[in-house]
Amino acid sequence: MPTLFTPWRYEYITAAASQPAGCFLCEAAACDETEEEARLVVARTPHHLVVVNRHPYSNGHLLVAPRRHHATPAGSDAAERAELWEVVLRAQEALERLYAPHGMNLGMNLGTCAGAGLPGHFHLHLVPRWNGDTNFMSVVAETRLVPEEPATSWRRIREVFCALGPGESRR
C-alpha cells in the first residue's frame, strides 16, 4: 500500500497544543444572538449547537457540539445523548436541501492523536461530499479548494435550518 505523507496536517495537529486555552465552542455556546453570525452559530437546542466550521473541508461543513464542555460522548448525560442524533439529522437534512450533496461524511475525532483540533470539547463533523470533489490541489499544492466562504455558508444554512422548524427531523 502506498504512503502519502501530509506534513501540512502534522503542523495543524501540533499547533493545537500551543493554542490558548479558550474553547471556541464554549464561547459560541455562551454568546448572545447578536454574536451568532460572527461565531457562525447556525442553531441552538437545549443541549447542543450547530456551527459552520471556520476551516471547512467542503461547502457547508458543520459541527454539532454539546453546549456543555466535555471531551468524549461518554461524558454526555442522558439528555444530551437523547438529543444528539435528532440535531445531527436536522443538520443533515438542512445540508441536503441546500447543497444536494451526493454523500456525506459524519465523524468525530476524539483526542489529538485522532486529529482533534479541539480535544477537550467533542463535536461531530458533517461534511457534504460530491462525486469527483477530491482533486490534486490538496496533495500537490497543499491547498484545499472550497468555493464558498464560511460566512456565506452560515447565512444560507441558517435560513434552511430555521425553515425546518424546532421539532424532530422529518426523516
Positions annotated as catalytic residues are: 123
For 44-57, b where at least 16 C-beta lie within 10 A, e where not — what string? bbebbbbbbbeebb
Beta bridge partners of 62: 52, 126
Alpha carbon distance, N-terminus to C-terminus of the chain: 39
In 3-state terms the chain splits into helix, strand, coil percentages (rounded to 5) of 40, 15, 45
